[in-house]
Amino acid sequence: MSSPHEPPTEPPERPARRRARSLVLVNTGDGKGKSTAAFGVVLRAVARGWKVCVIQFLKSGRWRTGEEELGRRLGVDWNPLGDGFTWDAEDLEASRAKAEAAWAAALRVLASGDYQLVVLDELTYPMNWGWIDKAEVAAAIRERPEEVNVVATGRDAPPELVEVADTVTDMRKVRHAYDSGVPARRGIDY
């Protein structure tokens, strides 16, 4: 095997190929890009003629993000069902109720088989806060119809979510502009 600083001289070893009807992707970690990567998959799916649904567990309809604007124009069923960041919330019980309602919507969407791609954006937070049951989330994803692909995002993906995933990407922060006082920027961060 060659070093990472030299070109490869042999093809990498790969397992025997198998066909999967659908996949589960989890984007986690403390780095930027978890949702952005999920929305890249949304674009690919729309380009292939797939029916796509996005359920956001933290972002609310008040946010007006660029990805939501474009997604809606492209026919994506976009559902910002959260209530914002919990550290800004005045009523955590109301935030919890919104997360539970978002999960109820996600359960219906996953089980329906109406979509070829379902994005569960920022799902890990209400899972980790105990607002939605981790085992129930894993079971719903595991028992979804065969043709339903899932992308779940958020920091600290719990083991139950990682276990049902085919691909898990851990985004690692090296540096973030926010740490030096630069606020989120329209067109870059939302």
Band (16; pLDDT cuts 50, 70, 90): confident
Task: Specify if 66 maps to a domain.
Answer: yes
Task: Specify if 14 maps to a domain.
Answer: no
pLDDT of residue 4: 79
Task: Specify if 64 maps to a domain.
Answer: yes
What is the enclosing helix (H) or strand (E) of 128? Answer: helix 124-128
What is the rounded CA–CA span in Å between residue 155 and residue 115? 25
Q: Which domain holds residue 80?
A: 24-169
Band (87; pLDDT cuts 50, 70, 90): low
Task: Specify if 56 maps to a domain.
Answer: yes
Q: Which residue has the higher pLDDT, 11 or 38?
A: 38
Task: Specify if 16 maps to a domain.
Answer: no
Q: Which residue has the higher pLDDT, 77 or 59?
A: 77
> What 8-state DSSP symbol labels residue 177?
G
What is the rounded CA–CA span in Å between residue 8 and residue 157? 33
Tally the domains of the chain.
Answer: 1
pLDDT of residue 33: 95
Task: Specify if 6 maps to a domain.
Answer: no
Predicted confidence (pLDDT) at residue 151 exceeds the cutoff of 70: yes
Task: Specify if 185 maps to a domain.
Answer: no
Q: Best-predicted range by mean pLDDT among 13-27, 38-52, 176-190?
A: 38-52
Q: What is the CATH number of the domain that holds 75?
A: 3.40.50.300
Q: Provide the mean pLDDT of the chain.
A: 92
pLDDT of residue 1: 55
Give the tens place of pLDDT for each residue, 89-147. Answer: 678 888 899 999 999 999 999 999 999 999 999 999 999 999 999 999 999 999 999 99
Task: Specify if 122 maps to a domain.
Answer: yes
What is the enclosing helix (H) or strand (E) of 42? Answer: helix 34-47
| Phi (first) and psi of residue 150, to 5 degrees | -130, 135
